[in-house]
């Protein structure tokens, strides 16, 4: 296989950008039992937002925990055991938001069974359930050949990376990122590159870190194939 493809893809990869618009649900929890009860029926969009929304919120330091549930357990409940258990849940390992919801509920219920003290704990910092809507923008940038990934990915915004690499997974039946789906249209020629891209787990990276990982994968592939 060479870096220059002999198959012409009729459709370029059109780069898009996005911002996250948050939507209040009016639902909140003042203790862990209320939190568990709300989780049972809360809109699945809240599950998605509280696992992934933090990637698009500006932060000056890397968060100690990757999802809002774990952060609340740490900061409001002061329960580091629960925070750690929630923090290691990787949403990419679940096929649906309801499956992910079930994993969170299981962790919370196990913790409730372990500690009677936390059952009755009253706190001032309630957990507020929020949904989000992704607003998508078109850009003038397009990637015409796989080799062009080397030139374009380094200049994509981190929000574009989120849209095409993270949010794409819930938009495709295959649960693949947009880069892999586009490369798949070239047939078998870029299967190795697809495999390398799909091996990157986006959840435990910040968006700038994720962008660097993608750049590294793309550059390494084409340099080794040149």
68: domain range?
21-131
- Over residues 97-141, the pLDDT tens digits come to 999 999 999 999 999 998 776 666 667 689 999 998 899 999 999
**Does residue 162 carry a pLDDT above 60?**
yes
Of 85, 103, 131, the domain-final residue: 131
Tell me, what's the pLDDT at 1?
39
Residues 45 and 127 in one domain: yes
- Specify the pLDDT at position 122: 65
What domain count does the chain have?
2
Residue 197 lies in a domain: yes
Domain membership of residue 91 (yes or no) is: yes
Please determine, for residue 223, whether its predicted confidence score (pLDDT) is greater than 80.
yes
In a domain, 119, yes or no: yes
Mean pLDDT of 22-28: 94
Mean pLDDT of 2-30: 80
For 70, 78, 130, the CA distances from 84, given in Å and listed in that order, are: 7, 11, 22
Q: Contact 147/222 with Cβ under 8 angstroms?
A: yes
Q: Percentage of residues in the chain with pLDDT exceeding 70? A: 89
pTM, two decimals, is: 0.85
Q: Are residues 209 and 152 in the same domain?
A: yes
SS3 28: strand
151 and 122 together in one domain: no
45-87 pLDDT, tens per residue?
999 999 999 888 765 444 688 899 999 999 999 999 999 999 9
Asked whether residue 28 falls in the same domain as residue 126, the answer is yes
Does 29 share its domain with 127? Answer: yes
Which phi and psi (to 5°) does residue 81 adopt?
-65, -50
Q: Are 65 and 74 in contact (CB under 8 A)?
A: yes
Is 7 contained in some domain? no
Q: Could you tell me if 166 and 206 lie in one domain? A: yes
Q: Has residue 6 been placed in a domain?
A: no
Q: Are residues 62 and 145 in the same domain?
A: no
- In a domain? residue 177: yes
Among 4-18, 19-33, 161-175, 209-223, the range scoring the smallest mean pLDDT is 4-18
Q: What are the Cα distances from residue 21, in Å, to 131, 162, 199?
A: 9, 14, 29
Regarding whether 158 and 122 lie in a shared domain, the answer is no
Is residue 120 assigned to a domain? yes
Q: What integer best gives the mean pLDDT of the chain? A: 89
Same domain, 199 and 149: yes
Q: Are residue 73 and residue 40 in the same domain, yes or no?
A: yes
Report which of residues 226 and 188 the model is more confident about: 188
Residue that is last in its domain, among 131, 165, 189: 131
Domain C-terminal end among 115, 131, 147? 131
């Amino acid at each position: 296989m060479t870096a220059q493809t002999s198959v012409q893809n009729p459709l370029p990869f059109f780069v898009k950008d996005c911002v996250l618009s948050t939507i209040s649900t009016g639902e909140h929890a003042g203790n862990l039992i209320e939190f568990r009860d709300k989780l049972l029926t809360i809109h699945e969009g809240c599950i998605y937002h509280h696992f992934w929304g933090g990637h698009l919120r500006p932060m000056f330091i890397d968060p100690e925990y990757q999802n809002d549930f774990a952060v609340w357990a740490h900061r409001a409940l002061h329960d580091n055991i629960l925070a750690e258990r929630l923090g290691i849940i990787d949403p990419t390992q679940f096929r649906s938001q309801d499956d992910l919801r079930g994993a969170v509920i299981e962790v919370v219920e196990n913790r409730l069974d372990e500690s009677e003290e936390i059952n009755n704990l009253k706190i001032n910092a309630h957990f507020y359930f929020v949904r989000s809507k992704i607003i998508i923008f078109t850009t003038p940038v397009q990637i015409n050949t796989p080799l062009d990934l080397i030139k374009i990915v380094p200049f994509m915004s981190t929000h574009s990376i989120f849209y095409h690499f993270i949010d794409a997974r819930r938009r495709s039946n295959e649960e693949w990122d947009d880069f892999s789906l586009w490369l798949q249209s070239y047939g078998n020629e870029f299967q190795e590159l697809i495999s390398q891209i799909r091996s990157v787990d986006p959840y435990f990276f910040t968006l700038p870190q994720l962008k660097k990982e993608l750049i590294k994968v793309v550059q390494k592939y084409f340099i080794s194939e040149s």
